[in-house]
Homo-oligomer: A and B are copies of this chain.
Amino acid sequence: MLDVRMLCLATLMGHEASGYDIKKELERGVSSGMIDASFGSIYPALARLADEGLITARAESGRGRGDKKIYAMTPEGRAYFLRTLAGPMPDEKYRSPFLFAMLFAADLPRDQVVRMIDAQIAVWEARLALADQTLPRDEAATGPRFVNGIAQTMLRAGLDFLRRHRAGLEAAAEASPQPASPAPQGARAREMTS
């Protein structure tokens, strides 16, 4: 599980929505960055879910913009969703191009490594800001608050680490200046270890 179907159902657990709405919530919601889905997968998924009776479709037209299909959970849908959450879940997967690239930091020019770290800091800071802003003081939303909390905690730890090591690299660069750019072959960045 944890496919487009579940993503759609998850959104509809909160409130009814159209395919378009769901896409937007996945982009700028609590789970943004975690998972994403495109229209090409959302629309067929919604059609199939409606077929199976897990959600209902209601057409809304005339008002403001044109035709719009609004989907809502059925009791069977809710049951199915919660049952699936209780069932076996696939392993988590953290797919990070940044960490992958950093594995080869020693083979890359130091200034490129610094640039990558800066970029990652920016990404995580943005994610942290999103988490701060996404969840107001809604006491009832324990689930989202929990997820936001753990995300913030881990992001802050990661950012700390990055900032400390970035500073270390800068210092090392001043101690032994290294010409920038593409593959001077012998050069190795060294004092990352802390």
| Chain B CB within 10 A, most for which of A86, A92, A104, A146 | A146
Task: Please report which residues of chain A, range 90-119, place their CB below 8 angstroms from some CB of chain B when the two chains form the complex.
Answer: 90-108, 112
A136–chain B nearest beta-carbon distance, Å: 13
Interface size for A (C-beta < 8 A) is 69
The answer to whether B142 touches A153 (Cβ under 8 A) is no
Specify which chain B residues have a CB less than 8 angstroms from the CB of A189 in the assembled complex.
Answer: 142
Q: Which of B90, B139, B190 contacts A97 (CB 8 A)?
A: B90
CB nearest neighbor in B for A157: B157
Specify which chain B residues have a CB less than 8 angstroms from the CB of A144 in the assembled complex.
Answer: 103
A53 at the interface (CB under 8 A from B): no
The answer to whether B154 touches A105 (Cβ under 8 A) is no
A13 at the interface (CB under 8 A from B): yes
A66 at the interface (CB under 8 A from B): no
A85-B101, A86-B112, A158-B153 as given contacts; A34 in contact with B145, CB under 8 Å: no
A1 at the interface (CB under 8 A from B): yes
The answer to whether A95 touches B93 (Cβ under 8 A) is yes
The answer to whether A95 touches B95 (Cβ under 8 A) is yes
CB nearest neighbor in B for A29: B103
A22–chain B nearest beta-carbon distance, Å: 15
Bound Cα distance A31, B150 (Å): 22
The answer to whether A149 touches B194 (Cβ under 8 A) is yes
A173 at the interface (CB under 8 A from B): no
A89 at the interface (CB under 8 A from B): yes
| Chain B CB within 10 A, most for which of A30, A99, A183 | A99
The answer to whether B95 touches A92 (Cβ under 8 A) is yes
The answer to whether A105 touches B34 (Cβ under 8 A) is no
Q: Told that A10-B104, A157-B157 touch, could you supply 5 new A-B pairs with CB distance under 8 A?
A: A13-B104, A31-B99, A90-B97, A142-B189, A146-B193
